[in-house]
Amino acid sequence: MLRPHRKRSPRKLLATATALCTAALAGTLFAGSASARPSPAGAPTAARPAAAPQTTAATAQTTAAGTKVVGYFTDWGIYDRNYQVKNIETSGSAAKLTHINYAFGNTQGGRCSIGDAYADYDKAFTADQSVDGKADTWDDPNGLRGNFNQLRKLKKLHPNLKVLWSFGGWTWSGGFSEAAKNPAAFAQSCYDLVKDKRWADVFDGIDIDWEYPNACGLTCDTSGKAAFTNVLKAVRDKFGQGSLVTAAITADASDGGKMDAADYGGAAQYVDWYNAMTYDYFGAWDAKGPTAPHSPLTSYNGIPKAGFNTSDTIAKLKKLGVPANKLLLGIGFYGRGWQGVTQDAAGGTATGAAPGKYEAGIDDYKVIKARCPATGTVGGTAYAKCGDQWWSYDTPQTIGTKMAFKDAQGLGGTFFWELSGDTPNGELIKAIR
């Protein structure tokens, strides 16, 4: 935002110099250089870094980048992970968040449906588990328990905090193919569920997490390029302008990839913003490697696939006509890793996925930071080599670099997957600005 010029004190001059340096750093990132070694012989051709935009430091300084901070909260996190809605408050995360995406509702038979009734609205939380220190009772006159009631209590502490109910996700996107056959019926079912009188005050909108329209995720969709636009239009028409409508979308900017399979530019008019999933570009589903950071900000020499980095993702979405202020930058609060690795730098071979607490090849930031501390950076994110394991993840420092990029690009803000991966004192979310 442009403001009148004022005489600056020495402290303000220092702050201005810092801002100019940050802007210059953000511009440099587009050049795509990294500390990784060149790819070994036979590796796929590296992607060419995106060209640097013609942005002066003064322009970057006055760019009105968005400040949305959206965090996913998973309903299953209250079980083995023992991450409760209360932890959003005690970690200091609630004070940083502008929005929470509650994951996930299901999409069975082309309709929105409950994901986990017990976790969502039935579980009775004890006083020590509750946001306000008051236990749920079976005869409570409001008739609501579970995470929904805890979110209601959290919103009372933070009146400006908004909550969206997210539907789909990797596991439950199969129903979107049916939804595409009758978008109006799908939208009606979602509206009826989100606006149910038992919890209508909890939710401020809906988030559509379709993985992926007219492409393959866990299941494959063949609904056609217009299906995503049709579904979002129906959802917007039903929910109206008084509710938030958002969508999590692919970050695959490769030629002929997932981003080309649907009309993301045309559908953008129906959403308040897109959550561009700029993570999980690479991982141990390629069991033998090459090792590569799962959330690179930029391309680098030896990256396994062109178009698989945040800079290319954002550039392509803009080229498709998505306004910058409708794009949120994605951060993963976790790392991905391999084992059987001998090479320190990215691009090494592996024997398989590294062990993880809940799933092989992936672990929370709060676990990895102590078990396998970062030893270098590549593509604007951190990597760690410990023993025969190789991990990549974001740290507060690399998130700072990504925030500079977000500001330089004029994006609408930041979102992350997901809250339980952070440290108990919210180390990662506190690096988001």
Judge whether 389 lies within some domain: no
Judge whether 280 lies within some domain: yes
Q: Give the model's pLDDT for residue 65.
A: 74
User: For residues 346 and 292, is the Cβ–Cβ distance under 8 A?
Assistant: yes
What is the DSSP track for 133-167?
Answer: S----TT-TT---HHHHHHHHHHHH-TT-EEEEEE
Please give the single-letter amino acid code of residue 336: R
Compute the average pLDDT of residues 318-347: 98
User: For residues 333 and 96, is the Cβ–Cβ distance under 8 A?
Assistant: no
In total, how many domains does the chain have? Answer: 1
Compute the average pLDDT of residues 63-87: 92
Beta bridge partners of 383: 376, 392
Residue with structure tokens 């004029």? 410
Please give the single-letter amino acid code of residue 113: S
Q: Give the model's pLDDT for residue 142.
A: 72
Compute the average pLDDT of residues 20-25: 39
Q: Give the model's pLDDT for residue 7.
A: 28
CB burial class (10 A; 0-12, 13-18, 19+) of residue 159? exposed
Q: Give the model's pLDDT for residue 143.
A: 82
Compute the average pLDDT of residues 131-135: 96
Q: Give the model's pLDDT for residue 6.
A: 28
3-state class (DSSP) for residue 244: strand
Please give the single-letter amino acid code of residue 316: K
pLDDT of 198 strictly over 80: yes
Compute the average pLDDT of residues 86-103: 98
Judge whether 338 lies within some domain: no
Per-residue confidence at 428, pLDDT binned at 50, 70, 90?
Answer: very high
Q: Give the model's pLDDT for residue 137.
A: 86
Judge whether 363 lies within some domain: no
Of the listed 211, 359, 418, 427, which one is catalytic? 211
CA separation for the pair 366, 372 (Å, rounded): 11
CA separation for the pair 126, 110 (Å, rounded): 36
Per-residue confidence at 54, pLDDT binned at 50, 70, 90?
Answer: very low
Model pLDDT for residues 216-275, shown as the tens digit of each residue:
999 999 999 999 999 999 999 999 999 999 999 999 999 999 999 999 999 999 999 999
User: For residues 37 and 67, is the Cβ–Cβ distance under 8 A?
Assistant: no
pLDDT of 394 strictly over 50: yes
pLDDT of 19 strictly over 80: no
Judge whether 341 lies within some domain: no
CATH number, residue 216: 3.20.20.80
Domain span holding position 301? 56-332+394-431
In order of 56, 114, 408, 411, 415, the CA distances from 66 in angstroms are: 19, 32, 11, 6, 12
pTM of the full structure:
0.86
Closest CA to 29 of 326, 311, 268, 407: 311
Judge whether 339 lies within some domain: no
Judge whether 375 lies within some domain: no
Say what the alpha-carbon torsion angle 395, 396, 397, 398 is, to the nearest 10 degrees. 50
Q: Is 211 a known active-site residue?
A: yes
Of 16-30, 137-151, 287-301, 326-340, the one with minimum mean pLDDT is: 16-30
Judge whether 379 lies within some domain: no
Compute the average pLDDT of residues 363-379: 98
Give the side-chain half-sphere CA count within 13 A for 66.
Answer: 19
Beta bridge partners of 165: 102, 206
Question: Mean pLDDT for the chain?
Answer: 88
Q: Give the model's pLDDT for residue 140.
A: 73
Closest CA to 341 of 286, 404, 299, 280: 286
Compute the average pLDDT of residues 380-391: 98
